[in-house]
Amino acid sequence: MSAGGRETNRLVDVELDESIGRSTPDVEHERAVAIFDLIEDNSFMPVNDPGAGPYRLRLSLVDARLVFAITRENGEQVATHILSLTPFRRIVRDYHMICESYYEAIRSAASSKIEAIDMGRRGVHNEGSQTLMDRLHGKIDVDFATARRLFTLVCVLHWRG
Calpha distance 148→41 (Å, rounded): 11
Rounded Cα distance, 143 and 43, in Å: 6
Please give the pLDDT value at position 23. 66
Please tell me the predicted confidence (pLDDT) of residue 21.
65
pLDDT at 103: 84
> Going by C-beta distance under 8 Å and a sequence separation of 6 or more, which residues neighbour residue 2?
none
Q: Which residues in the chain land under pLDDT 50?
A: 1-4, 161
Give the per-residue pLDDT at 73: 92
Give strand pairing partners of 159: none
How much is the pLDDT for 4? 46
The pLDDT score that the predictor gives to residue 41 is 93
Q: Residue 24 is which amino acid?
A: T
User: What is the C-alpha to C-alpha distance for residues 136 and 54, in angstroms, rounded to an integer?
Assistant: 18
Q: What's the rounded Cα separation, in Å, for the pair 116 and 44?
A: 32
The whole-number pLDDT of residue 8 equals 87
Q: Are strands 44-46 and 55-62 parallel, antiparallel or unpaired?
A: unpaired
The predicted pLDDT at position 17 comes to: 78
At 81 the pLDDT is 96
Task: Please measure the distance between the N-terminal and C-terminal CA atoms of the chain and give it in whole angstroms.
Answer: 39
